[in-house]
Amino acid sequence: MMPSNFFTDWAFMIPFFITACFSLGVYLLLTAGSGDVLWFWSGQEILVGLFVAVVVGWVARGFFCDSRRRAALNPKRWLRAVGYVCGPFFIELAKANVDVAYRVITGRIRPGIVRVKSGMETDLGVLMLANSITLTPGTLTVDINEDTNDLYVHVINVSDDVAARDALEAHEIFSTFDCPSWIRRIAE
Amino acid sequence: MNIWFFTVGVMAFLMLLAMIRLFKGPTAADRVVALDAVNTLVVASMIVLAAAFKQVIFVDVAIVYALLSYVGTLYIAKYLGGEL
Amino acid sequence: MSLLLFIWHALMWLFIAIGLFFNSLGVFGILRFPDVYTRLHADTKATTFGTIFTSLAVVIYGLGHWLKTADGQYGSLVLHTLIAVVVLAITNATGAHAIARAALRRGHQPARAVVNKLEDSTS
């Protein structure tokens, strides 16, 4: 489906360009050290990378790039994402594993499914929150209500007051850091 | 004994243990969980083998294996959920 | 110099030990827990974390050789291992979510559950 005014059709070109740049970046990261044309790469790798990036950008522009929101392009958010993964997220992940180790060894579990209000508005925010919940202490995202963005979370050890309540707020899932506000600053 | 080959040996043993659940699992979803664990262990041992043989290409294979096994897991999950 | 070498080897052994410990906990959890959802807990968390640590041992190994010999091959070993770890962390979490959703749609109830908000909302 080639649009008639190809190079000025921004609704087509912008997602295409972003996807192509991203895939070219990943390709160059994987082939770093192959030569010395541009410091690290050989000429052939750059040429093949450009070709592959154009093809991938053409094919994947529709589902890689949400056409409305451009906020995720801000480099500050990328830095924040790296900081989030290395800092709060990794500590929560380590605590989750000590918790699971304790449950495996003792076999002491009280499982249950609870409802969590995510408070996110974009799909990317909900995705990041769901993945963070899956990898943090004793919780596993089971289902998403796509109308209200509520998450249904399987918790391996439900306390009594949590079981009595109707819905939790997202930050109550995480014990030490306020991960949802980090995610909100990254993704929305 | 080489530390890397020792690690790979232990992980191969763990894969065998996970396969007990793969064969025994009462429901299909249990089998997918066991398969997922085996896939993760395969990726881990490929990365360790790359250090053992000093071959970077093993890690590239591990990346492709991780992505393909993810697609496989998603496909089986969609099939089990009746969305296919 | 020999002290640095010792620290390098000790770090590798430490990371390998932590990684193998959590990997085996994940596998034992799969064998031990009563239903799909709890098994998924053991699988995603423990196995991913263990794999991150065995890969970190490889990263330490590659970094040490890179600093020693300045051979670009070890640099790309480190870079590719880091990419593999990121890919694995993202795909495992998303795959676990997909399996849990599929099990739910097949009608598996969580065993020994004390509370089930999803059942309350649909029925």
d(CA C80, CA C59): 9
CB proximity B14 to C under 8 Å: yes
Chain B CB contacts of C81 below 8 Å: 47, 50, 59
| pLDDT recorded at residue B1 | 62
- The Cβ of residue C68 has, within 10 Å, a number of other Cβ atoms equal to 12
| Whether C102 and B29 lie within 8 Å, measured CB to CB | yes
| pLDDT recorded at residue A57 | 83
Domains of chain A, by residue range, sit at 6-68, 72-187
Q: DSSP of chain C, one letter per residue?
A: -HHHHHHHHHHHHHHHHHHHHHHHHHHHHHHHSSSHHHHHHIIIIIIHHHHHHHHHHHHHHHHHHHHHH--HHHHHHHHHHHHHHHHHHHHHHHHHHHHHHHHHHTTPPPTT-S-BHHHHHH-
Q: Which amino acid is at A112?
A: G
Give the total number of structural domains in chain C.
1
| pLDDT recorded at residue A115 | 78
Residue C108: which pLDDT band, with cuts at 50, 70 and 90? confident
A63–chain C nearest CA distance, Å = 17
Task: Kindly give, in sequence order, each residue whose CB lies less than 8 Å from that of residue C102, ignoring residues fewer than 6 positions away.
Answer: B29, B32, B76, B77, B78, B79, B80, B81
| pLDDT recorded at residue A35 | 67
Average pLDDT per block of 10 residues along chain A, 188 residues long: 59 76 84 70 82 85 65 71 78 80 79 76 75 74 74 76 68 68 70
B9–chain C nearest CA distance, Å = 11
| pLDDT recorded at residue C117 | 66
| Whether B44 and C61 lie within 8 Å, measured CB to CB | no
- Among C54, C97, C101, C106, which would you mutate to test the A interface (most chain A Cβ atoms within 10 Å of its Cβ)? C97
| Whether A100 and C97 lie within 8 Å, measured CB to CB | no
Residue C123: which pLDDT band, with cuts at 50, 70 and 90? very low
Neighbours of chain A (3+ CB pairs under 8 A): C
B38–chain C nearest CA distance, Å = 9
Please answer whether residues A186 and A128 qualify as being in contact, where contact means their C-beta atoms are separated by less than 8 angstroms: yes
Higher-pLDDT residue of C56, A69: C56
Pairing label, strands A150-155, A112-117:
antiparallel
Residue A115 to residues A119, A148, B37, Cα–Cα distance (Å): 12, 12, 27
Domains of chain B, by residue range, sit at 3-80
CB proximity C43 to B under 8 Å: yes
Per-residue pLDDT of B10-64, as tens digits, reads 999 999 998 888 888 788 888 888 998 999 999 999 999 998 888 888 998 999 9
Chain C CB contacts of A29 below 8 Å: 79, 83
Per-residue pLDDT of C8-31, as tens digits, reads 888 889 999 999 998 998 888 888
Residues 2-41 of C with CB under 8 A from B: 12-13, 16, 19-20, 23-24, 26-28, 30-31, 36, 39-40
The domain of C51 spans 2-122
CB proximity B47 to C under 8 Å: yes
CB proximity B64 to C under 8 Å: no
| Structure ipTM over 0.95, yes or no | no
The pair of three-digit structure tokens given for residue A48, joined into one six-digit string: 């093949």
Three-class SS state of A154: strand
A70–chain C nearest CA distance, Å = 22
- The residue written with tokens 């499982």 in the block is A111
Neighbours of chain B (3+ CB pairs under 8 A): C
The chain A residues in contact with chain C (CB within 8 A) are 29-30, 32-33, 93-94, 96-97, 100-101, 103-105, 107, 109-115, 130-131, 134-135, 138, 140-143, 152, 154, 156, 158, 162-163, 166-167
Angle between helices C72-105 and A10-30 (to 10 degrees): 120
| pLDDT recorded at residue A10 | 65
Chain A CB contacts of C23 below 8 Å: none
- Among C11, C18, C22, C27, which would you mutate to test the B interface (most chain B Cβ atoms within 10 Å of its Cβ)? C27
Point out the residue among B7, B20, B43 whose CB comes nearest to the CB of C20: B7
